[in-house]
Amino acid sequence: MIELSIIFKDNNFMNLHTYILIIMVFLFISCNDDKIDSNIGTVNPLETQANILKGTWKLEQIKGRNSIKELDPVTKDGVVVDIFKRMTLTISEGSAGGGSYTTLNTYDEEIWPSLGTWTFQDNDKNKILRSDNVSMSIFVEVIHNYAQPKVYTLRTSFTIASGSKDIKWVFNFIRECSSPFNEAC
């Protein structure tokens, strides 16, 4: 009792309170849970993009969805063409280092070969270099309306030399998940 009365009497209570607060803050900051830190890593954007690309993509115009801009599946120099309308693109074995792809019902092997490999060009998640040396710009987007299944869109654009002129191709693929809650899709 005497010690407490001395602390209160000499106005040292405030100093003791400050010391305790400083010690608690120091202990709080210095505590480190290695388990938590070891499970948290940096996210590689190339790995994430490669995982999104995996799957079978179709050339279909998306209709009847207010939240999705309707795009024509294939254009050649800005003009709609329907020669690829039954084509599907399957991307597999994707990772930050690239992967492989196959196509079914391709109209022209010079525009879309039936099989090949790809890598991210210049470590850019939006540029792919195919094994036939065609450089493609890509844009992937997920449209997720919780009342409907998720729809991924993949826009690829690239230029192919045809004689003395370059032709710009744009392919708008879609991939729909079976459930709006399927995270693996």
The DSSP output letter for 168 is E
Residue 138 has pLDDT above 90, yes or no: yes
Pick the CATH number of 45-176 from 1.20.1070, 1.10.3470, 3.30.70, 2.40.128: 2.40.128
- In this predicted model, what pLDDT tens digit does every residue of 91-123 receive, in sequence order? 988 899 999 999 999 889 999 999 999 999 999
Q: Is the pLDDT of residue 24 over 80?
A: no
Q: Which residues pair with 142 in a beta bridge?
A: 152
Q: Where are the domains of the chain?
A: 2-37, 45-176
pLDDT digits (tens, 9 = 90+) for 157-175: 999 998 899 999 999 999 8
Indicate the pTM of the whole model.
0.71
Q: How far apart are CA 118 and CA 10, in angstroms?
A: 77
- Could you give the CA distance from residue 153 to residue 90 in angstroms, rounded to a whole number? 14
CA distances from 167 to 94, 113, 138, 148 (A): 28, 16, 17, 37
